[in-house]
Structure 1
């Protein structure tokens, strides 16, 4: 590091002191000439004195610049050695730099220890999630299969058939909840990484998400309008983004009454591609909007519908992990608009 690499404010200070020195010298010369008139010998002596003074000041500034530059260079080397776990540069000297270097080494050591602890906890969570997934999959699948077989049995009493259908419904709900929690836990612990984060046509992702809610919308005679050109691109992971959009669309279908309408509009600007999902459903009261993305939160009106309050939380986590964000605007009784912003590149 040389003096040219010093921070800009050092140069500003030097210029300020140089300006002050020039002003003082000019005042001094003017005062001398005013008192004693123009005397060549006196002027020569004064000029020599001023040159020596300026040279001494310049040498002093140069030495300080060199000292500061060397100090910063040593500090940079000490930080670099501490980051790579090399022996200390100052060798336990009784200086401020030595104290700073050893404090930095302790801090980096603590940070690495915490990183190892976090990684160990992630591995434990990974094993726990795998165990939960493995241990619940078989018995839950058996319950669903046996309940389906019971429902198909001839001569089954109507009340028994009703209870079997309830068992089936709750089994599917439990299976969906377990799978959602597993996805969420893997996403939060970094076990699932978003792949192929590149600009791709958005229409394919929207179509994939729509295909999963189309049957439900058709049963309620809900009209779905989509306006997304094939040229509209967004930098996103197709699989996980379609998962996030599916959760939003499922909520729209769920809370929109029969013969309602859902509109999907995709627009693009310089930085983001925005997907607006608007429904004519129940709407969200203004006091509940700040809480709807919380885990397991369900509004007062939503409690009359099936659900556990994890879909919006999962959607926000997925979109945020891709560098995007979600906004919501709603009015109770008039519908809701979710705006999903995804980066263009």
Structure 2
């Protein structure tokens, strides 16, 4: 029996939702505010948390920050309940690590569908982790080659690094909000906060790449499409790069994709992040990086164009090989893994990637991913 905690300060809503959950066979617990909710989380360790955003004593964002900062509770699915479709509050919550949200008033069916979906997703993630542990145990027992074993160990331990990074990011965002509310956020403080945001992004990207490399070596990269808000997805990614790049380059963004598409967000992020990162790395300051996204012939097309140093003809056949670095890029920092990761992610999505460019003439990468019909 799954244990669900509802943190809601309105007694009528709290009692009604608890009745719904209990009728469906769940063990339902209720708390009237965030402080008491945290005490229940620590004592009961629920399987899922439903939490109102606007509450006295401690609001939903603060509860989420505490939950995601804890090693014990960071993987518990967290669903926000909000009285209005406040996109800013919702986006802030999702950026801090919330898994979903429900807008009040919601129906009995909407609530149960969300609960079942999130519990099922948690179950799948736990099964995947269990399978990875079993695979690691088998690798140890059979004394598989050290490189594969090391990659899987690194991939598993990288999960433990992600939670502190999430806590750092959420704390910095909370500090930024406090300083802004107090009219004490000057350019000097914002610069240091931006450095925190940029550094956390870089470390998170490195962890993600470690995971992908481990999956590449184990032949385990899978494409799991889900419906995402493409405009928000692209906007957030570009804002992260603006923080890291500190406005050294200009961005020319053209997004003509539908508002919602079914793609694998993890694979898409690796594709876009690595291509944009390379475009910035190999382009002179002040130049423009162009990103075009559009549909053509039932395919999602992505083009990333820079005005950088270009790729020598001799390197063209090898650019997607792990650790390969073009002769004219040897003086720049890098692992040589980015494009091999992009290639694997595109292949897992049953897509194609091609490159055009010449020395000192810039480079353009073109990715085409098959369009997945939206589930109804």
TM-score w.r.t. the length of structure 1 is 0.49
More helix by share: 1
Higher RCO, 1 or 2 (CA under 8 Å, sep at least 6)? 1
Largest Rg, 1 or 2: 1
More strand by share: 2
